[in-house]
Amino acid sequence: MKDVDDYLRVRRAVQIEGLSKRAAARRFGIDPRTVTKMMTHAVPQGYVRTKPPVRPKLDPFIAIIDKILADDKSRPKKQQHTAKRIFERLRDEHGFTGKITIVKDYVAGCQQRAREMFVPLVHPPGHAQADFGEALAIIGGVERKIHYFAFDLPHSDANFVVAYPAETTEAFCDGHVQAFNFFGGVPQSILYDNTRIAVAKILGDGKRVRTGVFTELQSHYLFLDRFGRPAKGNDKGKVEGLVGYARRNFMVPVPVFDSFAALNAHLAECCRKRLGERLRGETETIGERLVRDLAALQKPLPPPYDACEKVSTRVSSLSLVRYRLNDYSVPTSFGHAQVFVRGYVHEVVISCGTEIISRHPRSYEREDFVFDPLHYLALIERKINALDQAAPLADWQLPEEFATLRRLLEARMGKPGKREYVQVLRLMETFAIGDVATAVREAIARGAVGVDAIKHLVLCRLERRPPRLDMTIYPYLPKATVATTSARSYMDLLEGAEA
């Protein structure tokens, strides 16, 4: 096949040097018809097919291949036919005698023609897109998977990212609250995928049935919702791009922080720094374009939405409340009561009526038990034999002076000493553990080992007054009485022994 250099030499010989086409054909050893073609076109035109190729072995099976590919559209992506599998079926089931190459070429052409095309879009100010992403991070020395809420304003490409232990309802709601606070307003509309957190059901006509929590969030902030097509992430391409961008730029290398609060402070700072960047095809920075977005947001912000999951349940006989497969303790006085659980991202709050009866750090384990030892002390005081086997007290890390106190109480009083020890522990229902521990240490040093003395020392410490451990004021304190030995008493003992 002749290249551009050949065209140049032949065309120059004919047009500049004045050779005839036949003479040029003899000089360059080519057909005169080729010289005529070179004079018509300045560069090689390549091979132009005038009619479709004939495939005698494949053509009878084209309809079968097309049907297989059409049926695959309704099948899971990981269970669709490959070109190799289509070839095997044609060979084994339909008597195809051709080779795999022509089947692969035909399937590749069909797939290329079926690939989706997209329309370039413009994004007016004041609208947003939201989604979740996943990444690895080291939080508190433990490597774990984190889920981050990504919030994007497509007009300006301004973004906000906040990380959570799991992709939950409360994280979804809290992410919105944090994003609205970050930008200082509420978008006119937000585009989502069809997450179960927001969409309970998609009806036959495409209408979405919203979840109760999402409807509450929407009613609180009054933004419009929009949803992409199921399994079509390109419908919200801006935030999909943000999910990948945040992972590659904000979380490489793998972030290492003591807590989620520290990680989220880092992510917020990354989002602020990005405002100074100018993206390809734009004449303004992200921050300059953000001005138009902010002007179109709904303001002022309403009070923050209570971003939690709300569940009504009942306390078990073990004084435990189950929430998301984990059990959280409440005071034993609320046993078997109907309670209301609010699950936040990092906290679980349990109420009975209008009273908050328990707060616990949120656990993301499965079948975990989260105890507050103070909840069980009143019951253990009555069932003192359970003291050494009580699960809520098993991992309770107390200062060393408490163990010393228990030994002294049991040595002096026996089993009642256990009950008095629990009464000392119950002081922590009212006072801080540091104040009680200091009072225990002082009581041991003074030799006044008892709950009344320790309580007196705690109160004196809080009120900043000197202690007055007077035995007449505290009649329950142990009192040592030393009497003079009588010879008559000794003789009485001897007479009793002889008898």
SS (H, E, C) 21-62: HHHHHHHHCCCHHHHHHHHHCCCCCCCCCCCCCCCCCCHHHH
Last residue of a domain, one of 114, 148, 180: 114
Q: What is the pLDDT of residues 353-377, one digit of tens each?
A: 999 999 999 999 999 999 999 999 9
What percent of the chain has pLDDT above 90? 73
What gap in Å lies between CA 309 and CA 345, rounded to an integer? Answer: 9
Task: Assess whether pLDDT exceeds 70 at residue 481.
Answer: no
Mark whether 286 and 158 lie in a shared domain: yes
What gap in Å lies between CA 453 and CA 439, rounded to an integer? Answer: 9
- Sequence letter at residue 115: R
Closest to 5 (Cα-Cα) out of 31, 40, 32, 44: 44
CATH number of 178's domain? 3.30.420.10
Give phi and psi for 139, each to the nearest 5.
-115, 120
pLDDT of residue 204: 77
Mark whether 397 and 348 lie in a shared domain: no
Mark whether 250 and 267 lie in a shared domain: yes
Does residue 406 sit within a domain? yes
Q: Which domain holds residue 178?
A: 127-296
Mark whether 25 and 79 lie in a shared domain: no
Mark whether 333 and 405 lie in a shared domain: no
Give phi and psi for 140, each to the nearest 5.
60, 35
Mark whether 411 and 361 lie in a shared domain: no
Task: Assess whether pLDDT exceeds 90 at residue 401.
Answer: yes
Q: Which of 102-106, 400-404, 413-417, 484-488 has the lowest mean pLDDT?
A: 484-488
Classify 426 as helix, strand or coil.
Answer: helix
What total of structural domains would you count in the chain? 5
What gap in Å lies between CA 38 and CA 428, rounded to an integer? Answer: 101
What gap in Å lies between CA 432 and CA 453, rounded to an integer? Answer: 17
What gap in Å lies between CA 88 and CA 141, rounded to an integer? Answer: 52
pTM of this prediction exceeds 0.75: no
Last residue of a domain, one of 88, 114, 140: 114
Mark whether 285 and 194 lie in a shared domain: yes
Task: Assess whether pLDDT exceeds 60 at residue 100.
Answer: yes
State the angle between helix axes of 32-40 and 4-15 in degrees (0 to 180), rounded to the nearest 10. 90
Q: What is the pLDDT of residues 281-309, one digit of tens each?
A: 889 999 999 999 999 999 999 999 999 99
Mark whether 190 and 328 lie in a shared domain: no
Mark whether 211 and 226 lie in a shared domain: yes
Does residue 499 sit within a domain? no
